[in-house]
Structure 1
Amino acid sequence: MKKITSIVTLITALVAVSTTANAQATATAASGATIVTPISITKQIDLNFGNVAVTTISGTVIMTPGGVRSTTGGVTLPTTSGDVTAASFTVSGQADYTYNVTLPTADITLAGLTPANTMSLGSFISSPSTTAGVLTSGTQTLTVGGTLNVKAGQEADTYANAEDLTVTVNYN
Structure 2
Amino acid sequence: MNKLAFFLFLVFVVPATKLFAQASSSASITSRATVIEPIRIDKSVDLDFGNVISAYNPGSVVLSPDGSRIAYGVQISNSFPGNVSPAEAVVTHGSNNYSITMPESFTLYNQENPGQSLTIDEFTVAPEEGFSADIIKIGARLHLSANQLSGYYTNSTGFNVTVSYN
The share of aligned pairs that are identical, in percent, is: 29
Give the 3-state SS of the residue equivalent to 1:31 in structure 2. Answer: coil
Correspondence for 1:160: 154
The gaps in structure 2 that reach 5 residues or longer are none
Aligned length: 157
Correspondence for 1:116: 115
Q: Distance in 2 between matches of 1:118 and 1:82?
A: 19
Amino acid across the alignment from 1:158: Y
- Please report how far the alpha carbon of residue 52 of structure 1 lies from its aligned counterpart in structure 2 after TM superposition: 0.7
The gaps in structure 1 that reach 5 residues or longer are none
Give the 3-state SS of the residue equivalent to 2:58 in structure 1. Answer: strand
Q: Distance in 2 between matches of 1:14 and 1:37?
A: 59
TM-score normalised by the chain length of structure 2: 0.84
- Please report how far the alpha carbon of residue 55 of structure 1 lies from its aligned counterpart in structure 2 after TM superposition: 1.7
Q: How does 1:24-43 map to 2 (within 5 A)?
A: 24-43=24-43
Matched, 1:171 2:165: yes
Correspondence for 1:68: 68
Correspondence for 1:89: 89
TM-score normalised by the chain length of structure 1: 0.81
Q: Distance in 2 between matches of 1:116 and 1:104?
A: 22
- Please report how far the alpha carbon of residue 171 of structure 1 lies from its aligned counterpart in structure 2 after TM superposition: 0.3
**Could you list the runs of 4 or more consecutive aligned residues of structure 1 that deviate by over 2 angstroms after TM superposition?**
7-14
Q: Distance in 1 between matches of 2:39 and 2:51?
A: 35
